[in-house]
């Protein structure tokens, strides 16, 4: 297990600060202070503030798109695919809850990578929607506009980063199962 480089450390600490106040409100001097060095010293390890944001967001977005692609191409049932998607979100969000905050809230501050990010996101959402449509066609899931269903499920999953760190005692598989139940079967007792 290679230990973290100084660059990776900066990116990790930056993500923590970005989670609290957002990309724009965090200054390079804030970041430097959190690292225990002066702002100028950061530039021995990174090229720009913008590059830090790229590093945080793009790797995460790719992880989601790749994971979704695998799920989509598998031949599981629609419901099982949804459960896999929930697990994917729980897994990534628990590994990197700080980065998830930037992915959710600061993607619009990307510059050169903004178009690429948007493509990754729309690929992800298209796969998601296709899975839902297939489920409606096969009668596995209820016939409500797939847009609304996806929106509802996805916003819950996208917000996991807020919630997971507060529940460290929590078993992740258990959380995944609870969410599956709530999101798929609802909360009403038949």
d(C-alpha 58, C-alpha 120), whole Å: 9
Question: Which residues touch 183 (CB under 8 Å, ≥6 apart)?
Answer: 82, 86, 152, 153, 156
Q: Which among 58, 56, 63, 60 is positioned nearest to 16, based on CA atoms?
A: 56
Sole binder of DNA in the list 17, 26, 120, 179 (CB under 7 A)? 26
Interface ranges with its own copies (CB under 8 A): 20-25, 79, 105-106, 108-109, 139-142, 144-145, 147-149, 151-153, 155-156, 158-159, 162-163, 167, 175, 178-179, 181-190
Only one residue has tokens 């997971």, namely: 164
Q: Which is nearer to its own copies, 73 or 108 (CB)?
A: 108
Q: CB under 5 to 8 A by kind: which of DNA, its own copies, none does 163 bind? A: its own copies
Residue 45 near DNA by CB under 7 A = yes
Q: Is 143 helix (H, G, I), strand (E, B) or coil?
A: coil
Q: Which is nearer to DNA, 46 or 78 (CB)?
A: 46
Residue 12 near DNA by CB under 7 A = no
The sign of the CA dihedral 11, 12, 13, 15 is positive
Provide the binding-site residues for DNA, judged by CB under 7 A. Answer: 6, 26-29, 32, 37-45, 47-50
């Amino acid at each position: 297990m290679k230990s973290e480089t100084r660059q990776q450390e900066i990116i990790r600490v930056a993500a923590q600060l970005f989670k609290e106040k957002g990309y724009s409100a965090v200054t390079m001097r804030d970041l430097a202070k959190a690292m225990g060095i002066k702002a100028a010293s950061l530039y021995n390890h990174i090229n720009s503030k913008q590059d830090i944001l790229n590093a945080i967001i793009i790797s995460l977005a790719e992880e989601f798109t790749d994971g979704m692609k695998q799920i989509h191409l598998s031949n599981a049932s629609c419901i099982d695919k949804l459960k896999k998607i929930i697990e994917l979100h729980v897994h990534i969000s628990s590994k990197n809850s700080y980065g998830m905050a930037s992915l959710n809230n600061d993607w619009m501050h990307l510059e050169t990578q903004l178009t690429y990010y948007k493509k990754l996101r729309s690929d992800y959402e298209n796969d998601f929607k296709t899975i839902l449509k297939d489920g409606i066609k096969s009668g596995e899931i209820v016939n409500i506009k797939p847009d609304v269903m996806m929106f509802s499920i996805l916003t819950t999953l996208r917000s996991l980063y807020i919630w997971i760190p507060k529940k460290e005692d929590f078993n992740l598989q258990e959380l995944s199962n609870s969410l599956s139940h709530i999101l798929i079967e609802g909360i009403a007792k038949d």
